Structure 1
């Protein structure tokens, strides 16, 4: 514990506090930056992947569009339209005409390098081009021909050629435009599979990830693929979700299905690509955090030393100060707060030197002060003895009522004048007894006109309150209530628990003439000013009680609550808090 006390200095506390704050800030900034930048890197990678997939899909759409336009040109060629119409009419075209038709078709084949062959068939599936006789049903299944018929002139991609795995086939009906778009035959095109090998720029951007791409027909047969031999396309095509694990490596899966062909374009991108910049980012942030932490350590030490140096100088001066030899601190610090401490210490030294002189002078006159205090105690003692003599003289003459009044007056003076340590607070029971003595004395003057009742709840007897709070209010009730009434007057004192937890409400009420609303409003205004004027007195009683309530109970006290109606008397009440001193007073009362 002693060893720790040597290190528990202001400089070390400031140093550790600054270092801790700086490290927390650096840690929060590092975590925030790492999170934000890693998300940004991952989003950029995902954006690149999406762009690559969109570029590949766009390139595929361009290739398909070219074939669609080529077959449309063949199907709408005037020669093809004319000859197929002749076939529909039952006129078989000659071999020579078929040769000339083959030349027309070969001319269109030259437009696209990926065309293996283009073929024409009649509506009853007979071959026109090529020249050798072959039925279209021998090339494709009846189900495929049914799909072509349902398409009504649109190009239908059928997938891998069953007779040649290196080609992809597509068909469309020839609609006779000059004859109500009647069915005239079929255009059959065989495309090299290499034609659908998407551009390397769409697969591997410079410096980008090594994506794996595959193009599959409706039967999930591979038209084009860069998948490794170990990757099963069927598993990828049947997988649902954005991620898949293949050969122990995680991939992001992007699948686009062509609405035109029904083919599926699948792209696999290693997950590591989306996070490849994160390890580098982590290393940079850790290095920057270590450098920042070292810098914060050095700066915190220098700053804590600079702050505490003037304080240490002041401590050295204070340790050298001795009673009778109190010296000023001559080293003036630079900061405003420490300058204030410097001036305060020097001022305190001046004050202490003056105080030592004052104490010395007071010791000289202390004996005189004590003598005067003893003499001051003789006067109340003489007053009490005199009242006691009156009491016994009246008792001997049989004036018991007057004797009781004298003894009540003696007790009243003793309650008011007597002072001892802690005498400023009394219990509610003491205060009500004092009020009862005052009422007995006032009954001598008012005789039977004055009646009173005192109701004190048992739980409130020992609750403490400042001395002489109730008697001024009782005096006010007699002065402005009972004396102003024709006939008997009643003063009612009550103390009971309040609805507020831990509070007691004290009420003093009379059945006097009461006050009008204007007079009550003026009374409240006078209480705010702290003094009241009255034709029967100086008016300080109620104002004094109001002020003492606020002084003793502070913001917890609401002050006096005065209620009155003209002809219905007046009621004054106030709440007090059962303070912590209550326990001590209750113990003393019990003793």
Structure 2
């Protein structure tokens, strides 16, 4: 190929033409934008800071409403209302009733984060909860109590606890609903300062990539409640009305936003350099560049399009012939190197497509035959369930209670396993434990007195979503390879509990069978990795299936099955799943 053939490429044609156009456009637009940048930077910085302030204020309002709702629930609780009414009638509550108060408060406190403690006081400032002799006057200043009395039942945010500087105090009246909302006492809530952190981890990470943006919350007395400010900065300097302040040799825009609920101030310090990045200016420059260069591009693009599209149009005409009948290679040539390469690639594609068409045709024939056989082999599950139901009633009428319970367990097991294609593949851990329990009941009858078992799970773990049929195969494995392989009675323990990893739930199946040595465990891991069926009788779901489904459903969210075993001491198989895993 001569020199002209190497130069005369489509890439060079586009590059030279558009480079000339862009030089003209950028030269004209650059002069105009230069004068506008200095004005727009300031406007962009103010908008950015105000938006951050609005978002922080909204988050603070949400946190405050959560505490307000929590204290209102405590103050209007029926048992608390009844006991405080008794106290108001001059009948002091006894120690057992004070314990009842504590239980009622703990019920509400369990569903709220950030609460350090809850304290209840009578109208005479005597503490009822916690169970200690103390008074409201000794806990907080008198002016704080006066503010609460003036609030007439509203939650009053008072600031940092005089005793514990890392705790924020809020107090409200407890008013008796059945006594025309008469004053019956006080409820004081102590909240950790960390509850009011307004800068989340993602925002902090974004700020670290550029210059650091600081945010803090200051109460009415000027005390810092929550902030990521440097330790040497003073609240008085932040509350000042200066638009910019200097910190560590850098200038920051200072914006204050006051909360209508508490009177506290949100203070945001944004670096001038970071806040004035010219993103908006760049956007304006692009818009203006398009407008100014539009006319030039209109003319020059027409010329370029003729130069570029002529050989492509010739190729399109040749390729249109391939729409009729079998795809055939095209004998099209061009002086442009890229077009010749397209011709060659298209010809190769035609050959590959013809081969694929034949392969797909054969696969469709095989699939049709397979689907027909599958339809012929289907069994109506309703017939099976109706038959088991008839067995149950027949056994129940004859007084065979144990056998009837086994039939019910089998029916529930079949209903759980046999699911339609449109049903959800996700259930809860509680559903899986109930399915495993039915299986254990059936195996208990089969093995007579050789099997004992128990299931341990808290309510929180039972609500965690999990793919269907992940736990029962492990129980089956524990019985087949554990209990049945030992002499005498064996035990299977199934537990669902919170994991040591935050937000994860741990499922554990333990048996006291003969156990395995290290070599056997390594072989088992290798079998799971290769996908081999490890069922004892060759017809079970198997550990390999469970391992693979864990990897498919949770990907990096799980470490798969963990196997621990010792000879003559039994085997434990466990896995961990995220507690908030989304459902596909």
TM over 0.5: no
Measured against the shorter chain, the TM-score band is 0.3 to 0.5
Please give the TM-score of this superposition, normalised by the length of structure 2. Answer: 0.42
Larger Rg: 1
